[in-house]
């Protein structure tokens, strides 16, 4: 259910920037979501369509770009993607001393207006 709050924030950001730039209409909003952000695309799309009614973003598209989870090993320096079933260990040396370097992000990347 946190998608509702996320979608409200996305819309607020889009409307604020559209207003600052004198836009008459928002055509598309692109967000970046890491695979570990726990975002359900269908929920974001549903809430976006619902919340944008009767706003400058009415009818706008919502594009969600996914970023894979990536870890870096503190022992050997190797970076690698994290799979759903994988424990956060180094794919090369199996060390547990890893740092998550991508996959938790969630932000508005771009807004297309006219």
Q: Is the pLDDT of residue 1 over 60?
A: no
pLDDT tens, position by position, 22-78: 999 999 999 999 999 989 999 999 999 999 999 999 999 999 999 999 999 999 999
Which domain range does residue 92 map to?
Answer: 2-113
Alpha helices, DSSP H, located in the chain: 2-20, 41-51
- State residue 101's pLDDT score: 95
Read off φ and ψ for residue 81, nearest 5 degrees: -75, 150
* Pairing label, strands 26-34, 61-67: parallel
Q: Which two tokens stand for residue 58?
A: 């009415």
Residue 91 is part of a domain; what is its CATH number?
Answer: 3.30.2320.80
Q: 102: part of which helix (H) or strand (E)?
A: strand 98-102
Query: Which one, of 65, 52, 64, lies nearest residue 13 by Cα?
Result: 52
- State residue 2's pLDDT score: 84
d(CA 71, CA 101) in angstroms, rounded, equals: 5
- Give residue 89's pLDDT band: very low, low, confident or very high (50, 70, 90): confident
Give me the number of domains the chain comprises.
Answer: 1
- State residue 94's pLDDT score: 86
């Amino acid at each position: 259910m946190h998608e509702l709050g996320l979608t409200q924030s996305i819309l607020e950001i889009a409307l604020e920037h559209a207003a600052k730039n004198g836009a008459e209409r928002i055509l598309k909003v692109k967000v970046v979501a890491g695979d570990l952000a726990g975002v359900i695309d269908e929920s974001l799309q549903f809430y976006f369509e619902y919340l944008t009614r009767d706003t400058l973003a009415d009818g706008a598209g919502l594009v969600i770009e996914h970023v894979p989870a990536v870890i870096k090993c503190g022992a050997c320096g190797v970076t690698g993607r994290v799979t759903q079933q994988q424990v956060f260990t180094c794919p090369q040396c199996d060390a547990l001393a890893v740092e998550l370097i991508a996959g938790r992000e969630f932000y508005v990347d771009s807004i297309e207006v006219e």
